[in-house]
Every structure is written in structure tokens, then in C-alpha cells.
Structure 1
């Protein structure tokens, strides 16, 4: 009889442990996503200043400027996390184009405001990369718990499923070609 009570107490404690662990790791994933979101917002807030600075110098690069502006609009309007990731990738591509084109405009490159914005955007990009890494690490820990025994049993009882990692775009996977 005592062993039955001990077994019941053990099962209850294990259930509480796994339920709490799944919730804690789920919250960590949500927090990691919100950290990415904060950095994306910072970057989006810098874009109007960049566009205004660049407009005067890059009069012939209207398409590149429009692409940055449209990417920012998409990012601000994106509803789902997936849409925000797609908009973020478009923004990254548009900003790379602007900075590549800026090489052709020495006066722009010498502009103090442009240099400051470029530094700030670079710092934000680094923070986004770190936040993405933290998010993917959090997803890995969460997925390990909900897909292995006995966590998978408790995850299915709680209706928790494996979550998707953030992946880089196919264009970013290509090796950089360097010509000497």
C-alpha cells in the first residue's frame, strides 16, 4: 500500500516537473522571438533616416531607395512571425544593395550622418544575428524536451508540438565569391 502511495506521489511530481519545464522552455522561446522583434523594430526605425540621408546623394538610384522603403513598410505591416521573417529578409537585401551602391558616391560615404547610420545599422544587424542564434538555441532545447521520452508524452498531453527554427535564405547560403 505504501509503495502505491509512493508511486502516485512520484508520478505527480514527474508530471509537475515536465509540465513546468515545457512551459518554461516555451516561454524562453517566446522571449527569444521578442528579442529579435525588438532589434527588427530598431532597424526599421533607422531606415527613414537612412533614406533621407541617401536621397540627396543617390538621385539615380530610386529603385534601391524604393526597395528599402517598401521592405520597411512590409515589415511594419507584417502580422505573423513568418511574414515578419520574410519582410526582414527583404529588408536585409535592400539595405545590402544601398550600402553596395553607396560605394559609388564618395561624398555620401564621407557624410557623417550616413557613417553614423551605417554603424548603427551594423550594430543592430549584429544584435539580430545574436538574437536569431539565441532563438534557435532556445528552439533546440524546447524541441529536445518535447520530442524525447518521457517529455514527448507530457508534451502531447499539453498539446505542445515541435517548433521551427529560423533559417537563412538560400541566397545567404551561397559562398561569397572573391576575385583577386
Structure 2
């Protein structure tokens, strides 16, 4: 073997090694950007839910004000609504939001049960308008929960499958939590019956 053949083999080996390194770097770059996009989509979808939960809490506060005019002695129900609303105001993630949502759903059911005892309240235009607005928001919350959970499923699947899991581990991407309704949140609030 002459010196020319030796350098040719080393050069070829270096080019192959450079190609492999380039491929690995491009793969990692692509995966990192994909994971960042997925994480940002998760955050955006959660923010959509959070906005609707806060809108609903605000409407429920207005509903409490109307019901309070008719049912002044129902302090426990009003206190439960206030506690649930306060839980939504704290910084939180999906689990805390789901817990606060469940508290608010439970308080809302109690509020509607109290309302049934006051026919004049049920006939009130303001009460009916708020009830319609809450019903609309309930639908939006359900829609956004579904979208969020699908985004979480897609993201978690990406970071758990091979070879993505190698890049996810390298860049410390973690699984995200689903927005799961508890037993209260899984039962529909009966707005039409009130």
C-alpha cells in the first residue's frame, strides 16, 4: 500500500464520519425544533382552556349576584362559589385547573339547585342571559379540553417513540399532563333544567 492509498482511505473515512456527524446534528436540530413547537402548542391550548375557565368564573360571579338578591340566606352556596373562583385565580397547571374547574362545576350545580326554589329568579332576563352565556362557555371548555388533550397525546407520543426519545432525553423534554375532569367535571351541568 502506498502513501497515496493511505491518505485516500483516511480522507474517505473522514468524509464518512463528517457525513454521519452532520446527519446526527441535523436530526437533533429537527427534533429539538419539533419538540419546542409541540410544547408551545401545549401551552397555547392550555391558555385557551384557562381563558374560558376565567370567563365562566366571571359569569358565575354575576350569576351569584343575581341569585343573592333572591336567596339571601344561601351563604354556603355563595361561599363555595367564591372559594372555587379564588382557586382559579392562583397560578396553576392542568391538574390545579382541573381541580378548580371541578370545584366550580360543583358550586354551579348547587347554585342552580338553589335557583329552582325562586320562580321569579328563573324568569329574570338577566338570569336567563347569564345561563345561556354559561352554557356556551361550557361547550367551548369541552371543545378546548378535547383539543388540549389531543395535543398532549401527540406531543407525548412524539417524545416517547424511538428515535425521538433519545433526542427528548438529551434536551430534557418531559411528558405533559392531560386535563382530566374529576367526577364532578365529567357530569354535565344541567342548564336546560333550570
Say whether the fold is shared (TM-score over 0.5): yes
Distance 2:82 2:175 in 1: 35
Q: Where in structure 2 are the equivalents of 1:5-154 lying within 5 Å?
A: 5-76=18-89, 78-81=90-93, 82-154=95-167
Q: 1:6: how far off?
A: 2.9
Distance 1:29 1:109 in 2: 39
Distance 1:89 1:62 in 2: 20
Distance 2:181 2:96 in 1: 14
Q: 1:94: how far off?
A: 0.3
Q: 1:169: how far off?
A: 0.7
**2:5 match:** none
Which ranges in structure 2 are unaligned for 5 or more consecutive residues?
A: 1-11, 189-194
Q: Secondary structure at the match of 2:70?
A: coil
Distance 1:47 1:173 in 2: 19
Q: Root-mean-square deviation (CA), in Å?
A: 1.8
CA contact (8 A) 2:152 2:177 kept: yes
Runs of 4+ in structure 1 deviating by more than 6 angstroms, as ranges, are: none
Q: 1:171: how far off?
A: 4.2
Alpha-carbon deviations, 1:107-145, whole Å to 9, x = none?
111100000011111111111111111111111011001
> Is 1:155 aligned to 2:187, yes or no?
no
Which ranges in structure 1 are unaligned for 5 or more consecutive residues?
A: 176-180
Q: 1:112 to 1:91 in 2, by over 3 A?
A: same
Q: Secondary structure at the match of 2:81?
A: helix
Q: 1:174: how far off?
A: 7.1
Distance 1:138 1:24 in 2: 11
**1:178 match:** none
